[in-house]
Amino acid sequence: MRDYSEVIPVIEQRVKQQMENDSTGHDWWHVDRVRRTALIICEREQGNAERVELVALLHDVDDWKLKKEPTSESLANQWLLDAGVSEEESHQICEIIDRISFKGHGVEDNMPFLDGQIVQDADRLDAIGAIGIARCFAFGGAKDRAIYDPHDPPVMHQSFEDYKTKSGPSINHFYEKLLHLKDRLNTPTARTMSEERHAFLETFLKQFDKEWNGL
């Protein structure tokens, strides 16, 4: 097995170059926050710190939401192979990455790997709380979505295909995804970390509704 400590700096540089100009809330600083949070969770949950860091760095490079053109080619796989990781190891890492993203309210999570559970939790923690709210509206703005439309209600997507085609207002995303993340975290550490962030989502929505109604 290749020493991940030699691979991580190479992958970090490539991810920075790829993500630094993103305006959807999936920029380099999102990746860095997920990495730092994942390593905190990893220490408490006794995961493999180097693999967790590598997965955290690569978790968004092949995200379908960010690709300008559909393609089956995996940047994560190619970068790992370029960095000297074996095909078997790269396959294992990419399998974890493929399972990380939220795929719809009605789609069950299937993450059997502890290191993947840790990164998935860190990624979801970055989607709630104050930063999660900021990222939600950054993504909506980048995709030309309305802030809110009372005539366009949230949809509880029952399949990944349905979820991928959604284009509703940004406020809908709170009800379709963000408010459900607390209960879909894997580790005790992340569940504890989520409490204050989740409460902040609820406070924000109450204030938003109040102001929308002119109060």
Find all residues with CB under 8 Å of 210, minimum gap 6, and list them: none
Q: Which helix (H) or strand (E) holds 215?
A: none
Q: Give the per-residue pLDDT at 73.
A: 78
Is residue 40 within 8 A of residue 87, CB to CB? The reply is: no
Average pLDDT along the chain: 93
- Quickly list DSSP for 12-44: HHHHHHHHTT--SS-SHHHHHHHHHHHHHHHHH
Q: Which helix (H) or strand (E) holds 203?
A: helix 188-212
Q: Give the per-residue pLDDT at 116.
A: 98
Helix (H, G, I), strand (E, B) or coil at 171: helix
Confidence band of 69 (pLDDT split at 50, 70, 90): low
Work out the percent of the chain whose per-residue pLDDT is above 90.
Answer: 82
CA distance 157 to 150: 18
Helix (H, G, I), strand (E, B) or coil at 206: helix
Q: What is the pLDDT of residues 124-133, one digit of tens each?
A: 999 999 999 9
Q: What domains sit in the chain, N to C, each tagged with a CATH number? A: 4-212 (1.10.3210.50)
Q: Do you know the residue count of the chain?
A: 215
CA distance 143 to 134: 14
Q: Give the per-residue pLDDT at 163.
A: 87
Paired tokens of 158: 């029952």
Q: Give the per-residue pLDDT at 72.
A: 64
Count other Cβ atoms within 10 Å, centred on residue 187.
19
Q: What is the pLDDT of residues 136-183, one digit of tens each?
A: 999 999 999 999 999 999 998 888 888 888 789 999 999 999 999 999
CA distance 193 to 152: 32
The answer to whether residue 1 scores a pLDDT higher than 60 is: no
Q: Alpha helix (H) ranges present in 20-128? A: 28-45, 49-58, 75-82, 87-98, 114-125
